[in-house]
Structure 1
Amino acid sequence: MADWWSYSLEDFLLFSPRVYWRMFALHNEAVWPLHLAALPIGLTLVWWTARPRPWSGRVVAVALALVWAWVAWSFLWSRYATINWAAPWLAGGFALQALLLLGLGAFGAGMPRVVPPSVPRVIGWALLLHGLLLHPFTGMIAGHPPAAAELFGIAPDPTAIATLGLAVLMTGGTAAWVVMVIPLGWCAVSWATLHTMGGPEGAIPATAAVLAVAGRAWPTTNARKPL
């Protein structure tokens, strides 16, 4: 048993950075032109969050559920599983998140009901807009080709980060924390993978997770009433 202490994260990595980023390029090529639908869906979520209607919280939850289900099947199950034996389990986590969001939309109050002007509101919007608009450029800044860009609704990281942003913006108590559990878990997995490969990108999901927890725990006046 003492031999286990001699192992590091690098010993469990099943692929090289080149193979990892090539996987994103192949995935983007395979699912094109769905990228043209992913961005409008994301911007629609932003609009319904900024201009909430009595029904918009439920629609946002159901739309997110479909996005998580798609990423679970198209990327984790069908693509990532070819290089990582743990990917089917990760796909199961994404599928569970889709079911949670679907249940929240169909039987709960939906999401989000935006918190009043406050630190959590700034954090929530920052995470949401990063996941939707900025995350695809982080890989290119780190030196990866544009073909390997990670987009909301296509790749897991921006999908999880945008979902964390929406959860921070929710005024509900328990439901918001439940929505955050699996995205936070994915951020931890992504950080471990990227950190093990020696890339600076690992700081992004790690920072997003820390900010989401801080934003969710930050007190706001008359904003967080339990469901």
Structure 2
Amino acid sequence: MFGPQVFLRLFVRINQDLWPWPLLAVLAGILVPMLLLSQKSAPRRVALGLASVALVTSGYGFLVGYFGPINWPALWFGWGFVLQGVLLGSFMLFGGAPPSRWLDSKSAGYWLAGLWLAAVLALPWLTVAESGDWKAVGLFGLAPGTTAAAGVLLAGSLPGFWRWLYLAVPFFWSLFSAATFWSLQTWWLLGLPVATLILSFLAFRLSPSWARSRG
């Protein structure tokens, strides 16, 4: 249905069409881990709010609006990203537990913050390496691969069943996107689903269990 040039062009188009809003996406991606490490509840809730908006905009904006018209399965994943963002936003507003457990272990919190910044600052350049055009940078909040990779680090903010429901979308998206990138022979982009799966594993290793959570 499409070739690698057509797919990579989608990143250029969304960045150009939404300019200068991508600058705010970069700022939001950097602010999220800083807010999550705050001692106060309000900044941590703002962080989850920013992450939920990023999931919605990357799902509806990129997958539904740009990728879906040339690859219909992307439509379903786009709405999955939207539901994932709504789930995170709903937990931020109505959840009885603290909106972040990064503070339950300071060292773990700093590790998670470092992994988040590495994801939102390094992964966007994989699309640039593949396309050779810096305008194709895949930013957090716009590109689903970068957004999913960073978003899995918030899984520890959700309890039990809701955590698994939250992780279902990035897991299946990773499998689908890996198959897509393999078919298109866009080898640099395979780093996105691989990073998502690795960060999911690290999020579980670093997030303290609910039994050890404060309160």
Q: Under TM normalisation by the shorter chain, which class is it?
A: 0.7 to 0.9
**Worse overlay, 27-36 or 111-120:** 111-120
Does structure 1 residue 41 correspond to structure 2 residue 11? no
Do 2:55 and 2:84's aligned partners in 1 also have CA atoms closer than 8 Å? Answer: yes
Give the drift of 1:40: 1.5
After superposition, the Cα gap between the structure-2 partners of 1:203 and 1:33, relative to the gap in structure 1 and judged at 3 Å, is same
> What is the root-mean-square deviation of aligned Cα atoms in Å?
2.6
In terms of fraction of residues, the more helix-rich structure is 2
Do 1:75 and 1:155's aligned partners in 2 also have CA atoms closer than 8 Å? Answer: yes
Q: Structure 2: how far apart are the matches of 1:52 and 1:196?
A: 46
What's the counterpart of residue 105 of structure 2?
116
CA deviations on 1:34-93 (whole Å, 9 max, x unpaired) are 111111112221211233422333222222222222222221111112211222212210
TM-score (norm 1): 0.80
TM-score (norm 2): 0.84
Q: Structure 1: how far apart are the matches of 2:169 and 2:101?
A: 20
What's the counterpart of residue 165 of structure 2?
178
Give the drift of 1:188: 2.0
What's the counterpart of residue 3 of structure 1?
none
What's the counterpart of residue 133 of structure 1?
121
Do 2:153 and 2:199's aligned partners in 1 also have CA atoms closer than 8 Å? Answer: yes
Give the drift of 1:151: 0.3
For structure 1, list consecutive stretches of 5 or more residues without a partner in the other structure.
Answer: 1-13
Give the drift of 1:140: 2.6
Aligned AA (1:22): R
Give the drift of 1:143: 4.6
Q: Structure 1: how far apart are the matches of 2:33 and 2:138?
A: 19
Does structure 1 residue 91 correspond to structure 2 residue 78? yes
Give the drift of 1:155: 1.1
Give the drift of 1:101: 0.9
Give the drift of 1:127: 3.8
Instruction: Report the 3-state secondary structure (helix = DSSP H, G, I; strand = E; otherwise coil) of the residue aligned with 1:142.
Output: helix
Do 2:41 and 2:99's aligned partners in 1 also have CA atoms closer than 8 Å? Answer: no
Q: Structure 2: how far apart are the matches of 1:180 and 1:64?
A: 14
What's the counterpart of residue 225 of structure 1?
210
What's the counterpart of residue 145 of structure 2?
157
Q: Equivalent pairs: percent with the same residue?
A: 26
Does structure 1 residue 50 correspond to structure 2 residue 37? yes
**Worse overlay, 186-195 or 207-216:** 207-216
What's the counterpart of residue 47 of structure 2?
60
For structure 2, list consecutive stretches of 5 or more residues without a partner in the other structure.
Answer: none
